Homo-oligomer: A and B are copies of this chain.
Amino acid sequence: MKALLPLACLLAGFAPLGSQAVIDASRPEEWRALAPENTLYMEVGGNTVVFELAPELAPRTVGNIRTLVRERYFDGLSINRVQDNYVVQWGDPDAENPAAQRRQGIPATLSPEFGVPAAGIAFTPIPGPDGFGEPGFVNGFAATRKNGAVWATHCYAALGVGRAEAADSGNGAELYVVIGHAPRHLDRNVTITGRVISGSEHLSSLKRGTGALGFYETAAERVPITRIRLGSDVPEGERLSVEIMRTDSASFRAFVDARAHRTRDGWFDSDSGFIDICNVRVPQRMPSRP
């Protein structure tokens, strides 16, 4: 059952491309590098995980995280929670013990960023339906728009801000990464502040915790964080060389369409005709050397 050409394509006079063909046909200006000030390098358990921060969607939280990283708050702390099909979470295991907790150079509370005003955010919609709102992308980040607000969405590898009962209790000192099916019901309940660009497998393959909510039951199980650095503090030669497809580009729009029509790629027998936002996965590539 091969896909028929959509009428719109015939009218426009071009043949629809498979996802690799879209990437191959893209123009150099449809790709961008990581901005060093928006990149985190986390050394954990002998591996490196690289994150991109989303200052457009969570400016205050990103500011807090930059401060915490620069003052080396996370260095020597640990991953304390690994819950299957949910999250990996790190921070100060003594966070709830005022006598033992590590000092933070930021206030304990932060006005939450569960959504920002949609006006002024360059949002690229993708085809729905989507039960949570209007799906789309903001500069590489999967996002949802609804009722005049836009927020980064809990897809696999999203970087979120842990919080306690109070909505303003997440200041960026306790962070988590999604390692299972997108828990989008968490959207608008916690702030998403970035996403993993490289090394998610070093988090998702960690031993699951056997305590409540997947917390490790013993200190020995915790996975030590050697350090987290901001990209701008990493020597240029040690930075990750990666290019990310611009999500406001024509090639990205064609890529999303190709993901909904996988028979163009071969092997697939049947097209779903649809792709959900968390399965789009923005293309990345190694930059071509001059």
The interface residues of chain B lying within 8 Å CB-to-CB of A279 are 181-185
- The distance in angstroms between the C-alpha atoms of A121 and B85, with both chains bound, is 29
- B274 to A131, Cβ gap below 8 A? yes
Shortest beta-carbon distance from A19 to chain B in Å: 11
- Chain B residues lying within 8 Å of A130, measured Cβ to Cβ, are 129, 131
A275: chain B residues at CB < 8 Å are 131, 185
Interface centre among A180, A184, A201, A206 (most CB of B within 10 A): A180
B114 touches A270 (CB 8 A): yes
Count of chain A residues near B, Cβ 8 A: 44
B-side contacts of A278, CB under 8 Å? 181
- Copies per complex? 2
Is A68 an interface position by the 8 A CB rule?
no
Cα–Cα distance between A201 and B268 once the two chains are bound (Å): 29
> In the bound complex, how far is the Cα of B68 from the Cα of A165, in angstroms?
50
CA distance A184 to B275 in the complex (A): 8
Q: Tell me which residues from 116 to 172 in chain A have a Cβ below 8 Å from any Cβ of chain B.
A: 128-132, 155-157, 165, 167
New contact pairs (5) apart from A85-B156, A184-B276, A205-B207, CB-CB < 8 Å: A129-B130, A129-B131, A130-B131, A131-B272, A167-B269
